Amino acid sequence: MSQTSDAMELREEDINGHMAVALALLTGFDHAPRIGKAVAEQGVEKSSGIGTRRRFRSTTPGLVTQRRTPAGAVQLLARIEGADEGDALVSPQQAVVMNVLRRAIAIALAVAENVAEQSGLGDLKRANLEGSLPAARKSEFSELLAAEALVTLYVFGNATAYLLSSHLPEVSVEVGDVDEVLTDNGQTALHGALWELDQDIAAHGSDDERLVATVAAFAEVLMEKVALRAQGAPRLEGFASASWRVEADDFTVSGFSPASKAKSTKLTMTFKKPNEVVGNHIAKYQAMKLAKMLMAYDFDRRLNPFAELGGFIFTFMGDGAPGTGKTTLIQMMAGLISEYCGNAGYPFRYQNLSTDNIDSYQGKSGQNAKAFINNIIDPSVIGFGTIDDIDQLAGKRGDRQSSAGQLEITAVLMESFAGANTVVRGNCTFGMFSNYPENVDDALRQRAGARFLVDGPQTREDYVDILYLLMGKNHDIPLGQHEVFEAQQIKKAVAASFEGHSKPHEAGLLTVYEAVRGEIGELDTINKLGTYLKGIQEADPRFTGRAIKNITDAVKVRAMDFELPDEWMEQPDLFLFKGYDEKKAMIEGMRQPITVEMVVQEINRYADSEFRYADKSDEVAIENAVRDMGRMAEAKKRYLSGGEQ
């Protein structure tokens, strides 16, 4: 799923071995389109390029001739040179596009060749050339050739989009769908794609900026089209599960997942300071700790000491009633990470998965969710991904109200957050937020390793603080006898909040707790704690082994119950820029011992949330059933009375 340092190296000599073929393809070849239509047939005026005013620069000084293009020929270099209305010199943007396309083709051919050798296609090709291909293997041969074509096209589009990403202009171009996707073999597939790219440049590449935008847009659309086609195609398992690393370009081919540059996302949100988050003590404290934990990530080792030692939060869920401060919490955490990354010069990427990503086109919603995940887990950035109102975005399996797009998103998130291929490096975290967590699929909700109860202001002091904060300064109302934000001193407030979980809050869980304690006494051994967990499972069958893992992870977080000093964030040399082993040793020295009280509190905190969700979910189900029964009763009454109201 992720771009890992375990990727196979794609050697420069392998890529360079295909450069001549790539240049030949860009220089010119003949292609008769099978599916796509030429721009002339579509009624679009051609830009300067093939068959018009393109100038050919001879190697003989002073000699200028006109290049003649036979019908059906594709000459992309000439087409690209014609994007500036016939200027005799190649512009820097044109040179970039030419070099990007040549390298992208060479990378695609090198990867396809590697895949062919692993899949056995190379042997079948040689047997076919010698006329010794067994009849029984012709079907396999055809399937492998089609797979080679899809691999070649996807890697070509992926490499092109990646290599052009740092050269994109402000303008954007809509190129429409890619039609000429041919799957005879890799070479024919490239012919079709380059022919269509030539047509798009003719239609849209009227100047240098639009040329770059056109090629980039074509690459993105090509990737989407090929990835969709690949979903039902055989013989692609080897490519989909493997990775290749092109070190010179810092580019990783990771199956049908688009690569992305290690660049920051420019944030336009309003950041909040921790003291502007009133109440929500545990959620605020954990968010502040997590922001600093992310900064311990080592870009050379591609691992975070917290992820190795335990206590790193990869996924968390924040739930609470509307207006209790979930958005403010997101703004605070994103602001802290952005500030820390700015001090250290680290690339920071923030993205929110919203309802805009639900698409009626089959498979597109899942693709959007996968692209969101890949952007955040990119090991070359510090990432923070949020999924606000997840109950609306991700469908609940078995719920007839869930759309196909919502269910696609649920499947992607479940696989990404705790799937077989999930790799937790400690460079990113995902926060799921909801006013109605009981409407989230049970299995997806349990993939949230930590629970942040966002309950807003609770005490009288909290309400005075939030009123003072929101009133601003344009008034003369006296404050009265109150120390502003004294109640928000995080250490004191958090200690009280954790202490409050020494006993369960939810009535159903409290019954289990008291029954177990009545039988076995104080929960002071692992045996007794395990008996309590079994009692919870008997009361709620959804309390499974995953719940136990989440609880133990939360306990390990408590063992890391310290904040990295602010000076370490402000002066990166003190901690952030040190080697991985030294950072790990510094963190280990601050770790706290695990106590029975911690374990009991974390069991109660987690189980309270599950009982709270279950009670609300059951109540919603009962209300819906009552409503349905009422409708049926009214329908039966009207039916028996002959349809009269």
- Structure-token pair, residue 474: 């344009």
Output the pLDDT for position 268.
Answer: 52
Residue 282 exposure: Cα atoms within 13 Å on the Cβ side: 24
> Is residue 33 within 8 Å of 194, Cβ to Cβ?
no
Dist. CA 301–CA 532, nearest whole Å: 40
In terms of DSSP bridges, do strands 73-74 and 29-30 run parallel, antiparallel, or are they unpaired?
antiparallel
Q: Virtual CA dihedral for 211, 214, 218, 219, nearest 10 degrees?
A: 60
Task: Give the pLDDT band (50/70/90) at residue 617.
Answer: low
Task: With a cut of 50, say whether residue 67 has pLDDT above it.
Answer: no
Choose among 309, 285, 305, 288: nearest CA to 296.
305
Q: Tokens 């493997």 map to which residue?
A: 242
Mean of all residue pLDDT scores within the chain: 83
Q: Tokens 């079907």 map to which residue?
A: 139
Output the pLDDT for position 56.
Answer: 38
Task: With a cut of 90, say whether residue 322 has pLDDT above it.
Answer: no
Dist. CA 297–CA 300, nearest whole Å: 9
Structure-model confidence comparison of residues 273 and 2, the more confident one = 273
**Sheet holding 450-453: strands in order across?**
348-352, 382-387, 428-434, 315-319, 450-453
Please, which contacts does 473-478 make with residues 24 or more away whose CB atoms are closer than 8 Å? none
State the distance between the two ends of the chain, measured CA to CA, in whole angstroms.
Answer: 59
Q: Which helix (H) or strand (E) holds 351?
A: strand 348-352
Q: Tokens 């280990």 map to which residue?
A: 588
Region 250-274: what's the mean pLDDT? 71
pLDDT in tens, 298-308: 998 999 999 98
Please, which contacts does 590-596 make with residues 24 or more away whose CB atoms are closer than 8 Å? 590/560, 590/562, 591/309, 591/559, 591/560, 592/558, 592/559, 592/560, 592/561, 592/562, 593/559, 594/555, 594/556, 594/558, 594/559, 596/523, 596/524, 596/529
Dist. CA 302–CA 56, nearest whole Å: 49
pLDDT in tens, 390-400: 988 888 887 77
Cα 475 from chain centroid?
45
CA distances from 151 to 109, 189, 334 (A): 9, 10, 37
Please, which contacts does 512-521 make with residues 24 or more away whose CB atoms are closer than 8 Å? 512/536, 512/539, 513/604
Structure-model confidence comparison of residues 133 and 554, the more confident one = 133
Q: Tokens 């335990």 map to which residue?
A: 310
pLDDT in tens, 186-207: 999 999 999 999 999 999 998 9
Task: Give the pLDDT band (50/70/90) at residue 454.
Answer: confident
**Sheet holding 8-9: strands in order across?**
8-9, 243-246, 251-254
Dist. CA 608–CA 628, nearest whole Å: 30
CA distances from 514 to 445, 508, 535, 536, 544 (A): 27, 10, 11, 11, 21
Task: Give the pLDDT band (50/70/90) at residue 24.
Answer: very high
Region 456-477: what's the mean pLDDT? 81
Lowest mean pLDDT among 22-31, 243-252, 450-459: 450-459
Other beta carbons within 10 Å of 541: 7
> Is residue 134 within 8 Å of 173, Cβ to Cβ?
no
Dist. CA 336–CA 272, nearest whole Å: 9
Dist. CA 590–CA 573, nearest whole Å: 19
In terms of DSSP bridges, do strands 251-254 and 64-66 run parallel, antiparallel, or are they unpaired?
unpaired
pLDDT in tens, 121-148: 989 999 998 889 898 899 999 999 999 9
Output the pLDDT for position 60.
Answer: 33
234: DSSP letter: S
Dist. CA 108–CA 532, nearest whole Å: 57
Cα 382 from chain centroid?
12
Task: Give the pLDDT band (50/70/90) at residue 564.
Answer: confident
Residue 604 exposure: Cα atoms within 13 Å on the Cβ side: 23
Choose among 228, 259, 379: nearest CA to 307.
379
- Is the pTM here over 0.75, yes or no? no
Q: Which domains does the chain have, with CATH numbers?
A: 8-254 (no CATH), 274-620 (3.40.50.300)
Dist. CA 439–CA 384, nearest whole Å: 24
> Is residue 413 within 8 Å of 387, Cβ to Cβ?
yes
pLDDT in tens, 141-170: 999 999 999 999 999 999 999 999 888 887
Dist. CA 57–CA 61, nearest whole Å: 9
Structure-model confidence comparison of residues 69 and 294, the more confident one = 294
Dist. CA 343–CA 284, nearest whole Å: 22
| Exposed e or buried b per residue across 243-263, where buried means at least 16 C-beta atoms within 10 angstroms of its C-beta | bbbbeebebbbbbbbbbbeee
> Is residue 465 within 8 Å of 278, Cβ to Cβ?
yes
pLDDT in tens, 203-239: 999 899 899 999 999 999 999 999 999 988 999 998 9
pLDDT in tens, 358-386: 877 777 788 888 888 988 998 889 999 99
3-state secondary structure of 597: helix
Task: Give the pLDDT band (50/70/90) at residue 553.
Answer: confident
- Structure-token pair, residue 332: 């605070």
Inter-axis angle of helices 92-119 and 208-230, nearest 10:
20
Among left, alpha and beta (phi > 0; psi -120 to 50; other), residue 70 is beta
Choose among 203, 265, 250, 168: nearest CA to 45.
203
In terms of DSSP bridges, do strands 8-9 and 382-387 run parallel, antiparallel, or are they unpaired?
unpaired
Q: Tokens 């690393």 map to which residue?
A: 245
Task: Give the pLDDT band (50/70/90) at residue 55.
Answer: very low
> Is residue 25 within 8 Å of 34, Cβ to Cβ?
no
Structure-model confidence comparison of residues 611 and 199, the more confident one = 199
Other beta carbons within 10 Å of 220: 17
Dist. CA 357–CA 548, nearest whole Å: 33
Lowest mean pLDDT among 2-16, 45-59, 338-352: 45-59
